[in-house]
Amino acid sequence: MTKEEIWEMTLPRYLRNDIEAYVKGVEENSSLLDCLWGEVYGSINSALYSYVISDEQARFLRKKYLGINLEDDEHVD
């Protein structure tokens, strides 16, 4: 089992719920995708700043579910 798989299995319930709702919204082409996206983004930040998940986990989740790769921004001068 990879560390990423373990991370996803141990997410707080509120974050898992938001991710599941967003994934379902994508599958169903929901008109609320922007709201669902925002909920996931906010839940990731909440978990990160509450020290429930690490920065590495937050980056992984943002990249996987939201298409955000903050690592690209770190190398810009």
How many domains does the chain fold into?
Answer: 1
Q: What is the pTM of this model?
A: 0.86
Q: Is residue 27 part of a domain?
A: yes
Cα–Cα separations (whole angstroms), residue 55 to 14, 24, 33, 59:
18, 25, 25, 6
Select the more confidently predicted residue: 69 or 32. Answer: 32
- Domain range spanning residue 51? 13-66
47 and 1 Cβ atoms separated by less than 8 Å: no
Q: Is residue 76 part of a domain?
A: no
Alpha helix segments (H runs only) across 1-77: 3-9, 13-27, 33-49, 55-61, 71-74
Q: Is residue 73 part of a domain?
A: no
> 75 pLDDT band (50/70/90 cuts)?
very low
Q: Is residue 30 part of a domain?
A: yes
Q: Is residue 5 part of a domain?
A: no
Which residue has 């990731």 as its token pair? 44
**Closest by Cα among 40, 4, 8 to 22:** 40
Q: Poorest-confidence range of 21-25, 31-35, 70-74?
A: 70-74
Q: Is residue 3 part of a domain?
A: no
Q: Is residue 2 part of a domain?
A: no
pLDDT at 46: 97
